[in-house]
Amino acid sequence: MLDWTPFFTIAWPSTYAYYFFAIGLSAALFFISTLSWFREEFKSLRSSAFMLSFALLVIGGLLLIGDLSQPARFLNMVNPGYWNMSSPLVWGAILLILFGGVSVLYFLTMNKGDEALAKKLAVIGSLIALGLPIYTGFDLSVHQHRPVWNSPLMSVLAVSLSLISGAAVAAFLAKGEAKLLASLRNIMFASAGATAVMLLALMVTTAYGGSASELTYMFMTSGSMGILFVWLGVVIGTLVPLVVLAMPIGKQATGVMLASVLLLVGGLALRYAILVGPQIVHTYY
C-alpha cells in the first residue's frame, strides 16, 4: 500500500538546445559584423549580419522566457535583488541584457553615421558576445555528476560551434563574393576541425568513465540518440563538411554552400544530443 514509483524527468528540455543554438549564432554574427571594421571583405556583411544577430537575440530571449513555468519570473533575472553571483544563469542574464543594450546603441550609431563610436561599440559588443556561448558551456559544466557536461571543454566547444554556425549563415549572406567566402571557409574549416577533436576527447573520456558515464556513452552512440549525435552531428554535420572544405570543391561557392548547410544541421544536432543525451540515464535510474 505504501509502494511508490519515482518518475524522473529531463530537467533541461529541448528548448534550451534551440536557445543555445540561437544565442550562439547571434553572438557569432555580431562578431562577423565587427570584423567588417577591420577586414575589407567583411564590409558587405556589416548591416545584414548585425540585423540577423539582433533578430536571433530576440528569438533566444523569447525561447528562454517561454520555457519558464511562469514567464513573469523573467523579471527576476533583471532584478539585482534576486541575483546569485555564483550562478552561471545570473551571469547569462547580465550578459544578455548588456549585449542587447550594446546592440541597440550599435544600430543607432551606425544609422547616424558615427563610424568612430560604432567601431568602439562593435568591439565592446563582440567581447560581451563571446561571453554568451562561454556562459552556456558553464551552465552545463557546473553539474558535477552529469557525464559529458562536467567537462572544461564545454565552454570551448560552445564557442567553436558558435563560430561554425555564424560563418555558415554568413556564407549565405555573402552573395558569392569570392574573397569573403574564402575567409568564411577558413573560419568554418578551423572551427570544425577543433570541434571534431573536442568531440573525440569528450567521447573517449565518457566511454572510459564510471558506470554512469559508460551508460551515457551507450545512450548517445546507439538507438535514436546515436542517429542524432553520431550520424547527424559528428559524421554528416562535422566530418563530411571538413572533407568537402578540404577538397578543391571546398574552395568554390558550391562547396562552401554545401558545407554550410551540413554544418548548420550538425551544429543543431550536436547541441540537442549533448543537452538531452546525458540526461537520459537519470530517467531510468
pLDDT in tens, 205-218: 999 988 889 999 99
> Is 31's pLDDT higher than 70?
yes
In a domain, 105, yes or no: yes
**263 belongs to a structural domain:** yes
Instruction: For residue 184, give the nearest of 37, 45, 52 by alpha carbon.
Output: 45
77 or 30, greater pLDDT: 30
pLDDT mean over 243-251? 96
pLDDT score for 4 = 45
- 5 located within any domain: no
Confidence (pLDDT) at 146 = 87
Q: What pLDDT shows up at residue 69?
A: 64
With a cut of 60, say whether residue 5 has pLDDT above it.
Answer: no
- Domain assignment present for residue 166? The answer is yes
188 is a domain residue: yes
Full residue range of the structural domain in which residue 244 is found: 15-283
Q: Which pLDDT value is given to residue 285?
A: 63
φ and ψ of 2, to 5 deg: -95, 5
Q: What average pLDDT does the structure give for the chain?
A: 90
Q: What pLDDT shows up at residue 114?
A: 94
As a whole number, mean pLDDT of residues 8-23 equals 88
3: in domain: no
Helix (H) or strand (E) segment spanning residue 225: helix 223-226
pLDDT category at 144 given cuts 50, 70, 90 is confident
13 or 58, greater pLDDT = 58
**Is the model's pLDDT at 161 over the cut of 80?**
yes
Lowest-confidence pick of 219-228, 238-247, 254-263: 219-228
pLDDT band, residue 73 (cuts 50/70/90):
low
Would you say residue 206 lies in a domain?
A: yes
pLDDT computed for residue 234 by the predictor:
97
pLDDT over threshold 70, residue 236: yes
Q: Looking at residues 124-144, what average pLDDT do you find? A: 93
Q: List the CATH number of the domain containing 143.
A: 1.20.1630.10
pLDDT at residue 206, rounded to an integer: 93
Question: Which has more confidence, 223 or 262?
Answer: 262
| Residue type for position 192 | A
Count of domains observed in the chain = 1
Rounded CA-CA distance 207/37 in Å is: 45
- Residues 267-284 have a mean pLDDT of 89
Residue 151 is given by DSSP the state: S
Residue-level pLDDT at 224: 80
The Cα-based distances of 60 to 27, 31, 32, 53, 243 in angstroms read 11, 17, 19, 10, 32
The number of residues making up the chain comes to 285
d(CA 111, CA 118): 9
Q: Are 56 and 26 in contact (CB under 8 A)?
A: yes
Nearest to 274 by CA among 233, 213, 238: 233
pLDDT at 71: 63
What is the 8-class DSSP label of residue 247?
S
**Residue 28 domain flag:** yes
Whether the pLDDT of residue 147 is over 60: the answer is yes
